[in-house]
């Protein structure tokens, strides 16, 4: 309700600021580097698919070596004391629907677990939350049905209101949407057997953002990756304990 009231009350300011921000924000390229490989020692103990929007592909980092995917893979390899076989599929600007199409149009290597980062472009593209969640449901259903994936993790959105590229009150309004997204995604995931919402709140700070003021810099990608690696390691431990019982 608060989102709709704010949109009506602030509409002229919000749309004006959004137009100016789009025109002024520096467009960073997707970092060069490998989007598949094996990290860690020994035979791969876990096969990981990472997919999503610009945050998945590491925009804001100079190369994939410093981006989100490899930060997550390395942190997870350390946490599980094993090697990780990984694949990255993503593209800047994708909404939840776009990620679904990207996945279904791609060649997916066998994976045990998928981490899907999305949501910010649903907000900037004004995709209704119910429709965005439906597309995420379709992503999870497709991965669980059409591949070897056994668990699908959707990280929450960071505190968008802290992004230095976004002026007030647009930043406050975007942050309101991000929190609404996270609450709805968490509620939905709790009702699913093999789908999980991972909280990454409390990490975003202005000094950890890239030069565009909108994407994470390598230091923030590393923090997010570490938070997710802890979450995944705990999930794997619980799953193994359940199988052993």
Per-residue pLDDT of the chain (245 residues; tens, 9 = 90+): 555 555 655 667 776 777 777 776 779 999 999 999 999 887 778 999 999 999 999 999 999 999 999 999 999 999 988 899 999 999 999 999 999 999 999 999 999 999 999 999 999 999 999 999 999 999 999 999 988 899 999 999 999 999 999 999 999 999 999 999 999 999 999 999 999 999 999 999 999 999 999 999 999 999 999 999 999 999 998 887 776 66
CA gap 197, 185 in Å, rounded: 7
Place of tokens 């300011």: 13
Q: Is the pTM of this model over 0.85?
A: yes
Residues forming beta bridges with residue 84, ordered by sequence position: 39, 46
Q: Which CATH architecture has domain 35-244?
A: 3-Layer(aba) Sandwich (3.40)
**CB within 8 A of 25, min separation 6: which ones?**
165, 212, 213, 214
Does residue 209 contact residue 163 with C-beta atoms inside 8 Å?
yes
How remote is the C-alpha of 56 from its chain's centroid? 6
Sort 191 into a burial class: Cβ within 10 Å, 0-12 / 13-18 / 19+. Answer: exposed
- The DSSP call for residue 63 is B
How remote is the C-alpha of 108 from its chain's centroid? 18
């Amino acid at each position: 309700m608060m989102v709709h009231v704010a949109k009506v009350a602030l509409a002229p300011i919000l749309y004006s600021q959004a137009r100016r921000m789009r025109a002024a924000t520096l467009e960073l390229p997707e970092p060069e580097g490998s989007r598949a490989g094996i990290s860690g020692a020994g035979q791969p103990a876990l096969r990981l698919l990472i997919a999503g929007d610009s945050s998945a592909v590491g925009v804001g980092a100079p190369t994939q070596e410093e981006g989100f995917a490899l930060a997550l893979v390395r942190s997870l390899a350390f946490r599980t004391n094993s090697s990780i076989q990984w694949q990255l599929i993503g593209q800047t600007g994708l909404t939840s629907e776009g990620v679904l199409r990207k996945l279904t149009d791609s060649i997916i290597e066998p994976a045990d677990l998928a981490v899907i980062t999305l949501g910010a472009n649903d907000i900037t593209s004004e995709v209704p939350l119910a429709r965005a969640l439906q597309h995420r449901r379709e992503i999870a259903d497709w991965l669980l049905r059409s591949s070897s994936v056994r668990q699908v993790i959707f990280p929450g959105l960071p505190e968008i209101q802290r992004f230095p590229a976004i002026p007030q009150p647009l930043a406050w309004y975007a942050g309101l949407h991000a929190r609404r997204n996270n609450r709805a995604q968490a509620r939905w995931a709790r009702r699913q057997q093999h789908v999980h919402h991972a909280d990454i709140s409390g990490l975003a700070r202005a000094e950890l953002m890239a030069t565009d003021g909108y994407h994470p810099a390598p230091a923030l990608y590393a923090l997010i990756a570490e938070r997710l690696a802890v979450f995944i390691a705990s999930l794997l431990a619980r799953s193994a304990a359940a199988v052993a019982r």
